[in-house]
Amino acid sequence: MWKQFLGKISQKSPKSGSGGRGSPPQKSPPSCGANGAEAELRASPPPQASAVAAAPGSETREDVFLRKLNICCVVFDFAAERGRDSPEVERKRQVLVSLVDCVSVAEEPLTEAMISACVRMFAINLFRVFPPKLHSGGATDEDEPFFDPSWYHLQVVYELLLRFVMSPVVDVKVARKYMDNSFISRLLDLFDSDDPRERECLKTVLHRIYGKFMGNRPFIRKAVSNIFYRFVFETDHYNGIAELLEVFGSVISGFAKPLKEEHKLFLWKALIPLHKPKTVGVYLPQLTYCITQFIEKEPKLTGIVIRGLLKYWPVTNSQKEMMFLGELEEVLELTEMADFQKCAVPLFRRIAQCLNSSHFQVAERALFLWNNKHLFDLISQNRQVILPIIYPALERNARWHWNQSVLNVTMNVRKMFFDMDERLLLACETNFQEEEKRRAASEEQRRLVWERLERNATFQSLTGDIGFAVSPTSAPLVAAAMT
């Protein structure tokens, strides 16, 4: 195999070498090197030419591999020059492709020097600072995606990194010495890339690293939690939240039962606060999947999840409120009776407010909760507690809501309760009428008080007396206390 590997180098030498026997060598385009790699390449003869001059058996497998990695450590500035057709750029890409093929079919273990050089090449090519201008404004679904001009090479580097992590010829113990916590932390920072293609590759790479490097798992969970904290409480902008949640969806599904306390804290302190940002709609499906995975592992966590949803429930954002109602229905489908009874009162107080929302889609979405068979069974068995809470909202909708569709669904829900327990419904109706009479009397008294105040104010403005009657007080004056 390594003879074929050397043969590929010798076959490519005429393309990037001199144009003819007597013609001078071509100049390479300007590029920015990393760690002096470019200067070393230009001071020494091209590796292809060296490979041609040397006999195939005079170089070891490690020497050829390291030389090719050294070629790939040269970084080109694609933002300044779109020079895909330049010889040096194409040469680097061809070498990267050959390295991918080599790692894919390798049968002998990679030496420590080869592993170290691979990790160094990954760091030089991938770890970079994103331009600040790409982070102006919040990301939304309507924003057009940004495509990195350097993806022409980054794609092959990510492919090589994935093959490197998955390869059986890479010793995990040796690789962990170089792919340490610092490397993983900088790799996680790349999830903030504006290019969706890069985030997709990172998602696959991180999943493979989490699966193979078991010693790094606690650090990865902690580092991802810190990313979520900064996003929720500091920056309010991060591009890769959906991809990170997608990775952790499969991670959570692999948690052993019973769940560790660390995993429960991750749910309460990292996942549930992700409902707070205004861009929650971008990653809500992935977030909901992670939360439902926790509940399937341990159903008693339902109460924690519902309290968290109520804590971050939106007040002025109707679209976000509809998304919360959809997630709430998925959570309630997994809720058992004992856990449902613990949170039924605060939950249906919030649902009652949604029923009376002036936004007809919010009210309609809340009424559709009764179409869920499991939720309907939970409500019917706890109707003595739930119906007195939501009946006033149903009655107000039936009397005053402006939308005909909401009115129709409200009448259907009332009929469900009537068929369920007619006596309880009539009792709630009587209580509602009495409460309305008390409210009307209170409103009338308040109106009379304001009328009296307005008459007094009008009389005082006509007489010129602008003083206000102040009731005598037994408290001593401040001036008297100071004398």
Query: Nearest-CA neighbor of 420 among 469, 386, 446, 457?
Result: 386
Number of Cβ within a 10 Å radius of residue 427: 14
The pLDDT assigned to 43 comes to: 34
- How far apart are alpha carbons 482 and 239 in whole angstroms? 64
For residue 90 the two structure tokens come to 């194409």
The pLDDT assigned to 57 comes to: 52
Helix (H) or strand (E) holding 341: helix 337-355
pTM beyond 0.85, yes or no: no
The pLDDT assigned to 82 comes to: 54
The pLDDT assigned to 396 comes to: 93
- How far apart are alpha carbons 208 and 230 in whole angstroms? 25
Per-residue pLDDT tens for 19-73? Answer: 433 333 333 333 333 333 333 333 333 333 333 333 445 678 899 999 999 999 9
Number of Cβ within a 10 Å radius of residue 282: 18
Check: CB of residue 361 under 8 Å from CB of residue 395: no
The pLDDT assigned to 147 comes to: 82
The pLDDT assigned to 467 comes to: 52
- How far apart are alpha carbons 114 and 101 in whole angstroms? 15
Q: What is the mean pLDDT of each run of 10 residues along the chain (483 residues)?
A: 45 39 36 36 36 51 92 80 69 93 91 95 92 50 70 92 95 94 96 93 96 93 96 91 96 92 94 95 96 94 95 93 96 94 95 94 96 94 95 93 94 94 94 92 94 88 58 47 40
- How far apart are alpha carbons 4 and 400 in whole angstroms? 82
For residue 420 the two structure tokens come to 């369920």
The pLDDT assigned to 295 comes to: 95
Per-residue pLDDT tens for 168-206? Answer: 999 999 999 999 999 999 999 999 999 999 999 999 999
Mean pLDDT of the chain, nearest integer: 83
- How far apart are alpha carbons 428 and 15 in whole angstroms? 87
- How far apart are alpha carbons 192 and 290 in whole angstroms? 20
Amino acid at 205: V
Let me know if 367 is exposed, middle or buried by CB neighbors in 10 A (0-12, 13-18, 19+).
buried
Number of Cβ within a 10 Å radius of residue 144: 5
- How far apart are alpha carbons 355 and 363 in whole angstroms? 4
Listed in order, strand segments (DSSP E) in 121-256 are none
Backbone angles phi, psi at 30, to 5 degrees: -65, 135
Check: CB of residue 340 under 8 Å from CB of residue 348: no
Backbone angles phi, psi at 15, to 5 degrees: -70, -40
The pLDDT assigned to 130 comes to: 81
Query: Nearest-CA neighbor of 265 among 237, 295, 225?
Result: 225
Query: Nearest-CA neighbor of 16 among 83, 95, 75, 77?
Result: 95
